[in-house]
Amino acid sequence: MKDEAIEISPRPRVSEAQAATIARELFGVEGALKELGSHQDRNFRIDTDGVRGVLKIANRGWGVQTLQAQNAAMLHVAKRDPALGAPLPLAALDGSLISSFEIDGERLPIRLLTYVEGQPLTGRRYLAPEVIADLGDVAGRTCAALADFDHPGLDRRVQWDLRQGEAIATALHGSIRDPQRRGQVLEATAEVQACIAAFVDALPVQAIHGDATDDNVVGPLDAAGRVRPRGVIDFGDLVRSWRIGDLAVTCCSILHHRPDDAFAVLHAIRAFDARVALTEAEIAVLWPLVVLRGAVLVASGEHQARLDPDNPSVMEPLENEWRMFSVARSVPFALAEATIRHALGRPLAARHALAHAALSEAGRLFPTIGQLAILDLSSTSEQLHAGKWLDQGTEQALLAAAAANGAAITRHGEFRMTRSRRNAVEMPETCALGVDVRLPPATPIVAPFAGVVRRADDSSLQLESSAGRLELSGLVPEVAHGAVLAAGDRIGHAGDALLHVQLCVEPMLPTPAFATAATAAGWTVLCPDLSPLFGADVAAPRDDAHALLERRRNSFARLQVHYYAEPMRVERGWRQHLVDTRARAYLDMVNNVAAIGHGHPRLADAVDRQMRMLNSNSRFHYSAVAELSERLVALAPPGLDTVFLVNSGSEAVDLALRIAQVVTGRMDVVAVREAYHGWTLASDAVTTSLADNPRAMETRPAWVHFACAPNSYRGAYRGAEARQGYAAEVAAVIDGLAASGRPAAAYIAEPVFGNAGGVMLPEGYLVAAYAATRRHGGLCIADEVQVGYGRLGHCWWGHEEQGVVPDMITIAKAMGNGHPLGAVITTRAIADAFSAQGSFFSSAGGSPVSCVAGLTVLDVIRDEHLQANAATVGDHLRARCLSLMASHPLIGAVHGMGLYMGVELVRDRHSLEPATAECLAICERMRELGIVVQPTGERNNVLKLKPPMCLSLEDADFFVDQLDTVLRDGW
């Protein structure tokens, strides 16, 4: 076996001028040269007329046979998987694929390879799940393509071959400067060796690329600007070795991109497994080999740094390599194995299955306790309303209350909402791996199975058995360390403390009490359900959000779309946060309907009370309908003194249009382009947004006419032109209609351009539009469904901003805080004139419950000063979003005011090319960081910011800080 490159020598010294000479003399190629980074070789990209190549001047350590093997492997991969991008060797003028050239008195091997187009992932901080999956796929394809490749040059000793990993890490660890780090490398290497020893003989061996890392996969950019790996370069580490080494190397390279979520690598592992089905032994050793790869990287990186301190491609990655090593090491091998098995849909490891079987035979831990009350601490618990989940001591208090008449227990595997944290970037540790029990004092506790007592102290003990290590804390032990117990032997009794019970099937593994959503699948294998010990089913119900989504797809209209490709399941909201069923809390930046916040107890109580008393319709005489109408009139501008109550924004707009048509005796209506007003026949008719209906403009009825979208950022008139331009244009449309003998019944627009992402209308715009409409006897409708009701902070109504008074105001959304409620507010004269079409009746519009909901929302907005809050927090949010523009050119504009804003993303601030794909990808990334935000606008390139009006300054800062991070680190 060759022993190359173990004694690493520095890269050959070759200047650009020398490289140019080599390219010309050996290959007859001339062109611009650019040096590419390399640990050991000198590589130059050479651009000739229409052709790109890579001139590779190999380290003298390489044997010719090794280079021949690499060439043959590239040709082999191209044959086996022609669609996979990989370099190919090009013949020199003398016909050879490997030439040589004398440099500084030494003959060095020279090759010219084709250049694989695309970019590597180098320098990208964050890698999205789809990108990680692509990386795993490229690694898997390369590995599959090499499965039947053979060459005598494959058998060599190279430092990156993980079969030599222990030897290399041990040999080179002396170069590590920091003694603590040096110790970690040695310790990790020994742990790896101990773990993999039993499996090495069973590991498949073949030719592997050995270096399919973020640096060595390349691909095109997708629409969102992310590199999507499609090819692999650099066959320099080609070797015959364990096949799984290929995947271990790939996984390790991902870790520094996702230091807070090591299991993001599962996307790569799944993709690799789909190409190369992993064996049992391979799954067992994968994580240890990831750690070993990390150890080898840092040991050789430090070694190389000593030899070649001026080489930036050695020095720069070193800290990342340490990060990979420490992230890999932070995951226990057994946890990784259980998690990978789960992700690949494989059964439990045999030893874990045996332990679970032993556990199912266990006896009762408290034989004298007949019944245990089971406490629900999940996000759907009835006992965690009104923010109770946030109170310190809630778990203990609820458990004590549940145990009032005996004993009570929490559930295993439950994602406890009490463990959730708001505005947290990291996934919270919410999944209970054990249970907490409240027992009557002195309740006897017995061994549920035979075992040996370990580490007993005043309040805890461990019992080692064939089922695993049972840990009890919060009891009064009656046995000593080393005691050998039979099943049913007494081990202690309950004291005053809460008893915590947890079992780990891995005898030596330290376990946390709670796991994150990402690690829960693995940890609950290692710390299984303990139901047999209690004679009761204490396992939390399984929550399969994906299966539920399938049910939705099968029975609910699919065009009633959902946010996110793989949505989290959300069953709980509290104020400005949403909580998913994994008990992750998200800052909710989009729910303007929940204006006073989610789960408001005052609203819930009021609706509950009214529902128990009476819910009927407005043909009956009850107080709430009068009270709500009075309150709305009091909020409306003088003259608008009459209210119609309906169930939604669409209904309100529909009714307003109908009123206008009846009252004026005309049919035609002027609306602005790119607007959304609702789904009913009439409200849809004036909806011109192509985002919702790409055929909108072709399919509008003949009575609908359009003015330009008054968008001074990207519309027909911009900047200084906008003020005059739009005002003149809308007046011309309205005047033109009248001149053609069809004067408009109504002009309808939002007073802040909501569908464009909260774009403020140019000053004087509605003044001009309303004047033109009224000139010809038409009515003016302000659609305040989104922007009214105090959200703008500095005014209650959007039309105040424009200094106009409409003839009709339509409202909904915030009005019922999600309860279906809408209204038209108009003048008595207009309302009465509508009676030409008889009376008006809506069965649930204005019902007692609806009216009480509407009144309570108004009370809360007033009592909690939510409009003022929208002004303060909105101003702050706006200022901070604006400040991001200096460092992030992707932000083209910040629209809106108060808590109605849009952050518009553009690829170019001059062309305003919308960054649509980026916007969606950023929203996905923001969700990972604990924020719900969604694209809006005609081009879906605006981040819509219209959170519950109780958003706090800290929430606004959290949002902006995370947006800043995402824009900096990528998506």
Nearer to ligand PMP, 226 or 677 (CB): 677
- 320-359 residues in contact with ligand PMP (CB under 6 A) are none
Nearer to ligand PMP, 676 or 797 (CB): 676
Amino acid at 158: V
Q: Which range, of 488-496, 621-629, 645-653, 836-844, touches ligand PMP by CB under 6 A?
A: 645-653
- Name the minimum Å distance from CB 782 to ligand PMP: 10
Q: Are 414 and 377 in contact (CB under 8 A)?
A: yes
Considering only residues 428, 448, 532, 649, which one is a binding residue for ligand PMP as defined by CB under 6 A? 649
Site for ligand PMP contains 655 (CB under 6 A): no
Bridge-partner residues for 57, per DSSP?
42, 110
Pairing status of strand 99-103 against strand 779-783: unpaired
Bridge-partner residues for 436, per DSSP?
500
Q: Which range, of 184-192, 474-482, 487-495, 676-684, touches ligand PMP by CB under 6 A?
A: 676-684
Nearer to ligand PMP, 263 or 644 (CB): 644
CA 268, CA 272: separation in Å to the nearest integer? Answer: 6
CA 22, CA 46: separation in Å to the nearest integer? Answer: 11
Bridge-partner residues for 431, per DSSP?
415, 515
CA 971, CA 932: separation in Å to the nearest integer? Answer: 15
Nearer to ligand PMP, 395 or 750 (CB): 750
> Which sign does the torsion angle of CA 399, 401, 402, 404 carry?
positive
CA 816, CA 647: separation in Å to the nearest integer? Answer: 9
Nearer to ligand PMP, 500 or 700 (CB): 700
Q: By rule CB under 6 A, what count of residues binds ligand PMP?
A: 14
- Name the minimum Å distance from CB 872 to ligand PMP: 25
> Which sign does the torsion angle of CA 900, 903, 909, 911 carry?
negative
- 602-641 residues in contact with ligand PMP (CB under 6 A) are none
Q: Are 437 and 944 in contact (CB under 8 A)?
A: no
Helix (H, G, I), strand (E, B) or coil at 486: coil
Q: Which range, of 248-256, 394-402, 463-471, 674-682, touches ligand PMP by CB under 6 A?
A: 674-682
- Phi–psi pair at 55, nearest 5 degrees: -90, 120
- 777-796 residues in contact with ligand PMP (CB under 6 A) are 783, 785-786
Closest CA to 238 of 273, 209, 199, 267: 209
Residue 156 DSSP label: B
- 743-782 residues in contact with ligand PMP (CB under 6 A) are 750, 754
Nearer to ligand PMP, 526 or 660 (CB): 660
- Name the minimum Å distance from CB 313 to ligand PMP: 53
Nearer to ligand PMP, 705 or 813 (CB): 813
Nearer to ligand PMP, 168 or 808 (CB): 808
CA 909, CA 670: separation in Å to the nearest integer? Answer: 32
- Name the minimum Å distance from CB 677 to ligand PMP: 5
Tokens, residue 654 = 């529909």
- Name the minimum Å distance from CB 592 to ligand PMP: 9
CA 627, CA 621: separation in Å to the nearest integer? Answer: 12
Nearer to ligand PMP, 648 or 934 (CB): 648
Q: Measured in Å, how far apart are the chain's first and last C-alpha atoms?
A: 45
Nearer to ligand PMP, 610 or 647 (CB): 647
How many residues in total does the chain contain? 971
Pairing status of strand 808-811 against strand 779-783: parallel
- Name the minimum Å distance from CB 698 to ligand PMP: 22
- Name the minimum Å distance from CB 471 to ligand PMP: 53
- Name the minimum Å distance from CB 849 to ligand PMP: 17
Q: Which range, of 141-149, 278-286, 454-462, 670-678, touches ligand PMP by CB under 6 A?
A: 670-678
CA 109, CA 100: separation in Å to the nearest integer? Answer: 4
- Name the minimum Å distance from CB 959 to ligand PMP: 22
Considering only residues 149, 263, 415, 676, which one is a binding residue for ligand PMP as defined by CB under 6 A? 676
- Name the minimum Å distance from CB 671 to ligand PMP: 11
Write the CB contacts of 915 (distance below 8 Å, at least 6 apart in sequence). Answer: 890, 905, 906, 907, 941
Nearer to ligand PMP, 851 or 921 (CB): 851
- Name the minimum Å distance from CB 940 to ligand PMP: 15
CA angle in degrees (0–180, nearest 5) for 39-43-49 = 160
- Name the minimum Å distance from CB 841 to ligand PMP: 19
Pairing status of strand 42-47 against strand 32-36: antiparallel
Tokens, residue 202 = 């069973």
Site for ligand PMP contains 142 (CB under 6 A): no
Distances (CA, A) of 387 to 2, 30, 124, 582, 768: 67, 71, 39, 17, 48
Site for ligand PMP contains 653 (CB under 6 A): yes
Closest CA to 209 of 186, 232, 183: 232
| Region of residue 970 (left: phi > 0; alpha: psi -120 to 50; beta: else) | left
Considering only residues 209, 677, 700, 705, which one is a binding residue for ligand PMP as defined by CB under 6 A? 677
- The b-or-e profile of 680-692 (16+ CB within 10 A means b, else e) is bebbbbbbbbebe
- Name the minimum Å distance from CB 601 to ligand PMP: 24
Nearer to ligand PMP, 253 or 689 (CB): 689
Q: Where are the alpha helices (DSSP H) in 256-372?
A: 266-275, 280-307, 312-315, 318-329, 333-343, 350-360
Question: Closest residue (Cβ) to ligand PMP?
Answer: 649
Considering only residues 40, 213, 648, 869, which one is a binding residue for ligand PMP as defined by CB under 6 A? 648
Q: Which range, of 35-43, 216-224, 469-477, 649-657, touches ligand PMP by CB under 6 A?
A: 649-657
Q: Where are the alpha helices (DSSP H) in 541-685?
A: 545-555, 601-613, 623-635, 649-664, 681-685
The contact pattern for ligand PMP, residues 926-965, with x = CB under 6 A and - = no contact, is ----------------------------------------
> Which sign does the torsion angle of CA 813, 814, 820, 826 carry?
negative
Q: Which range, of 216-224, 363-371, 524-532, 643-651, touches ligand PMP by CB under 6 A?
A: 643-651
- Name the minimum Å distance from CB 791 to ligand PMP: 12
Q: Which range, of 227-235, 413-421, 520-528, 648-656, touches ligand PMP by CB under 6 A?
A: 648-656
- Name the minimum Å distance from CB 763 to ligand PMP: 21
- Name the minimum Å distance from CB 784 to ligand PMP: 8
- Name the minimum Å distance from CB 648 to ligand PMP: 4
- What is the distance of C-alpha 211 from the center of its chain? 28
Nearer to ligand PMP, 433 or 707 (CB): 707
Considering only residues 66, 142, 524, 650, which one is a binding residue for ligand PMP as defined by CB under 6 A? 650
- 798-827 residues in contact with ligand PMP (CB under 6 A) are 812-813
| CB-based burial label for 621 (10 Å; 0-12, 13-18, 19+) | exposed
CA 959, CA 956: separation in Å to the nearest integer? Answer: 5
Distances (CA, A) of 523 to 129, 410, 412, 767: 22, 17, 12, 64
Nearer to ligand PMP, 140 or 678 (CB): 678
Contacts with ligand PMP by CB under 6 A lie at 648-650, 653, 676-678, 750, 754, 783, 785-786, 812-813
